[in-house]
Amino acid sequence: MNKKVRRRGIYLLPNLFTTGCLFFGFVAIISAIDGEFGRAAAAVLVAMVFDGLDGRVARLTNTQSDFGVQYDSLADMVSFGAAPAVVVFLWALESPQAGPPWDDLGWLIAFLFVACAALRLARFNTQSGVDDKRYFQGLPSPAAAGAVVGLVWFGERLGLSGVDAAVPAGIVTAAAAVAMVSTVRYESFKEFDFRYQVRFTSVVFVVLGLALVALHPPTAIFFGFFAYLISGPVLTIRRLRDRRQRRRPH
């Protein structure tokens, strides 16, 4: 079995993509401070694209390094930990009109998301190369960020903000935070092969999804990430139920 070797050097190309991820996370924070929440949400989504590319570019060019791994985690902490928390806090969780105890609960929920993102990234780094590649243990931080900023973008298009958005924002943010540090397994799709045969209904759902993205991107993005957020617990319950049925005497 070949052991993956990481070099100690610093490589320009993959780290440029990581810097792009960090840059758009920073843009999201600045945009949220300026009250441009739609732009802030879009910036986090663009950061996800760069985050998905840096590792692939490193593998394709054989430029993986320990520096790149650490830099990637720091960029993820900003773009998928701090940025979504700031965006959702300024959009809804701040809500001074809601009064006590919400005025304190809002920033606590935002901090919970930041802390859980940090814990999730630390656990991922320590388990790298050990865990099952087919699954993530806990919700990945980019997916958690996608669910949070997807709600912000979706709510912005519906005209929600402040007190009206505080409750759904608090629930989704707290749920995403807890899911990140949970032991619930999520499909990684790393071993998905497009050559596999699929059901006709799967093709129909893909077409409908693409149509929804074209017609109303905020709706498609929020419900897509929200579906992935709840997919872990749903699949876990299904596996436990199937396991109990197999153990029952016939």
Q: What phi and psi, each to the nearest 5 degrees, are found at residue 185? A: -90, 140
| Model confidence at 244: pLDDT above 50 | yes
Most confident of 100-114, 141-155, 192-206: 141-155
Provide CB contacts within 8 A for 217, sequence distance 6+. Answer: 153
| Model confidence at 175: pLDDT above 80 | yes
More confident residue, 158 or 145: 145
In order of their start, the domains of the chain are 12-247 (1.20.120.1760)
Residue 227, token pair as written in the block: 């579906």
Helices (H) and strands (E) counted in the chain, each on its own, are 9, 2
pLDDT in tens, 9-34: 566 678 899 999 999 999 999 999 99
Among 22-26, 29-33, 102-106, 130-134, the range scoring the smallest mean pLDDT is 130-134
Q: Look at residue 69 in the predicted model and tell me its pLDDT.
A: 86
pLDDT in tens, 222-235: 999 999 999 989 98
Q: What phi and psi, each to the nearest 5 degrees, are found at residue 111? A: -65, -35
| Model confidence at 112: pLDDT above 70 | yes
Tokens 């973008």 appear where? 153
Residues 142-158 have a mean pLDDT of 93
The Cα–Cα gap between 69 and 57 comes to 13
SS (H, E, C) 151-166: HHHHHHHHCCCCHHHH
User: Which has the closest alpha carbon to 34: 78, 77, 82, 86?
Assistant: 86
| Model confidence at 7: pLDDT above 80 | no
Across all residues in the chain, what is the average pLDDT? 83
pLDDT in tens, 38-71: 999 999 999 999 998 888 887 888 777 788 888 9
Q: Look at residue 250 in the predicted model and tell me its pLDDT.
A: 55
Question: Is residue 135 exposed (0-12), middle (13-18) or buried (19+ Cβ within 10 Å)?
Answer: middle
CB burial string 176-192: b at 16+ within 10 A, e below = bbbbbbbebbbeeeeee
Q: Look at residue 2 in the predicted model and tell me its pLDDT.
A: 44
Q: What phi and psi, each to the nearest 5 degrees, are found at residue 135? A: -135, 155
pLDDT in tens, 183-206: 898 987 765 554 555 555 555 656
CB atoms within 10 A of CB 79: 32
The beta strands (E) that lie in 95-193 are given as: 135-137, 185-187
Q: Are 89 and 110 in contact (CB under 8 A)?
A: yes
Q: Look at residue 1 in the predicted model and tell me its pLDDT.
A: 41
